[in-house]
Amino acid sequence: MNILLVCAGGMSTSLLVEKMKKEIEKRNLKDINVEANAIEKLESIIGDYDVILVGPQIRYKEPYIKSLCEEKGKPYIVIPPAVYGLVDGAKTLDLAINLKNS
Amino acid sequence: MEAIIKFLNDRFMPFAGKLAEQRHLKALREGIVAVMPLLLIGSLFLIIAYPPIESLDKAIEPFRNDLLKVSRATFGIMALAASFSIAYSLAASYRLDSLASGIISISAFLLSVPAAKDGGLATEWLGSKGLFVAMVLALLAVEIQRTFMNKNFFIKMPSEVPPFVSRSFAALLPGFAMLFLVWIINILLLRITNLTLPEAINNVLGIPIMNLGSSLPATLIAIIVIQLLWCVGIQGADIVAVFLGPVWLSLSEQNAAAKAAGEILPNIISNQFIYIFVFVGGAGATFALALLLLFNVKSSQLKAIGKAGIWPTLFNVNEPITFGMPIIMNPIMFIPFILAPLVAAIITYMAMAMNIVARPYAIVPWTTPALISGFLTTGDWKAIVLQLVNLAATGIVYYPFLKVWDRMKLEEESKK
C-alpha cells in the first residue's frame, strides 16, 4: 500500500514520514510505502497512492482535497493536530491502515 | 477569547481558504514559485561575485562581470519566465492546452515591452520591473483562450490528424486574438496617453502595490494576519503569500539588481526580511521558544516537545512546536506568538533603516539555518548579531507566557 502525506511544502510532513518508516520497519510491514509531498503536486501524483493523509495546517484546502480524492476514489483524512504535533509515527500509520481498510 | 477562536475558525478560515484557492491568485502564486529556482541560482552567483571579505572581494574583481552574467540570466528574466509559468498554471487549472498558453503569453509579454533607445528590446522590463505586466498579460492570454474554447471558436482538425498538430491549430485563433489585442492596445495607448502598455500597467497597478508592500505598517499587518491564521492552525504565510509573495520577491529582485550594478540597495522589506529575519524558526519566530522549551521548562510533555522540535526548528520548520505545545487553539500562547514576530520585524527594520546592518540582496532557501542565513543574504557579519538580538527579544516575549503554560502542564501531569 502506498501512503501519501501532503502539507504546504512537504517539509513538516516529511518529518512524520521518517517516523512512520521507523514504525513500519519495527512492525516489519514490507509492503507499505510512505512519502511526503507538497499539496500543489497532489493532483498530478494522486494516482500513485492508495490513501492520502493531510497535514492539519492546510485543512483550509479540504474542499479542494475532498473533491479531488472523491473524483479519483482515494480515501483521505486530516491528521489530528495532537498526533501531528507529537510527530507520532505509530498513530499516523494506524490512521492510514484503518483508512485503507474502512 | 472563545469568541475570537470561533470567529477565526468558522468565518475567517473558510474565507481565507476560498481566497487562497481562487484560481487566478493560485496561478500567480504557483507561477512565481516556479521562478524561485532561478532566483536561488542567481543569488549563489551574486554572493560569489560580491564576497563579504575584502581581500576576496579584490581577488574576485576581474571575474565579477562573468559571474554577474548568471544573475542577469536568472533575476534578469524573472518576469519573462513568470509570464510563461503563470499562464501555464492557470491554463492547467482550466484543463486547457497549458503549453500553448504559456508560449502565447511569453510572446504577448515581449510584444508589449517597449523598445530601447537603439530599437532593441529594453531588457530591464524582463526582470522585476515587468513582473506585474507579465502577470496581467498571462491571465488575460489564458482567459481569451478559455473564452474561445468555450464558444467552440477554434480551428478543428479532422480526427485523423495527429493530436499535436490539431492542438497547435486549436491555439491559433485565441493566440492571434491575444497578440492582436496587445498590439493594438499598445499602439493606441501610446498615441493617446504617450504611455506604453507596460508603463500604464505599472503606473496603475505595479507601483502602488509595490509601495504598499514595501512599507512597514503594511508588513506588520501582513504578519498579524499570518499569525492569526496560525492561531487556528492554518498555514498563514501560505495564504498571505498568495497576495504578497510576488511583491516581496520583486522587492528582493530590485535589491539583487542594485547589488549587481554596484548601487545602494533600495528595499528593506523583501522576501528575506520576512523569512530570514522575522520568521526565525518558522512562523511566530519560534526559535527562541524552542530553545526555552529545551532548557527552561519543568513539564515533561513540554520537555519532549523541545527535544522533538529543536531540529526541525533549526531549519525553520516548526509544526512540532505549534501543534505539539500546542500554540494552536491555545489562547495563553496567542499573545507572544503574535507579538514576537512583530518585535523582530520592528528591530530588523530599524537596524536596516539606520544602516547599522546591511540590507539583504541574495535569496537563500527559507530552510537555511538562522545566523548562517542572515550572513549569506546580506554579506554582513552584523546580520548575525541582528539575528541574535532578535532571538533574545523574542525569547523575552515568550518567556512569561511559557512559564504560565509550563505551570499548568505541570499541574496537569502531577494529577495523573
For the stretch A71-84, pLDDT in tens is 999 999 999 998 99
Q: Which domains does chain A have, with CATH numbers?
A: 2-101 (3.40.50.2300)
- What is the per-residue pLDDT for B22? 87
Distance, in Å, from the CA atom of B340 to the CA atom of B227, rounded to the nearest integer, reads 10
> Does residue A69 have an active-site annotation?
no
Query: Is the omega angle on the peptide bond into residue B326 within 30 degrees of 0, that is, cis?
Result: yes
Sheet holding A2-7, edge to edge: A33-38, A2-7, A51-54, A76-78
Contact between B288 and B395 (Cβ < 8 Å) = yes
| Cβ contacts of B325 on chain A, cutoff 8 Å | 85
pLDDT at B386 over 80: yes
Residue A87, number of CB atoms within 10 A of its CB = 22
B273-324 tens-digit pLDDT: 999 999 999 999 999 999 999 999 999 999 999 998 999 999 999 999 999 9
ipTM of the complex: 0.85
pLDDT at B5 over 90: no
Q: Is the dihedral of CA B188, B191, B193, B199 positive or negative?
A: positive
- What is the per-residue pLDDT for B329? 86
**Mutation to test the B interface, candidates A39, A43, A59, A60, most B Cβ within 10 Å:** A60
Distance, in Å, from the CA atom of B336 to the CA atom of B349, rounded to the nearest integer, reads 19
Q: For residue A36, which amino acid is it?
A: A
Which position has the grid cell 510491514?
A29
Q: Which of A12, A61, A82 sits opposite B319 (nearest CB)?
A: A12
- Choosing from A3, A4, A5, A7, the catalytic residue is A7
CB contact under 8 A, A85 and B324: yes
What would the mean pLDDT of A19-41 be, rounded to a whole number?
Answer: 92
Q: How far is CA B191 from CA A49, B115, B180, B184, B187, in A?
A: 57, 15, 17, 11, 6
pLDDT range class, residue B8, cuts 50, 70, 90: confident
pLDDT at B32 over 80: yes
Identify any residues that bridge with A33 across adjacent strands, giving them in sequence order: A2
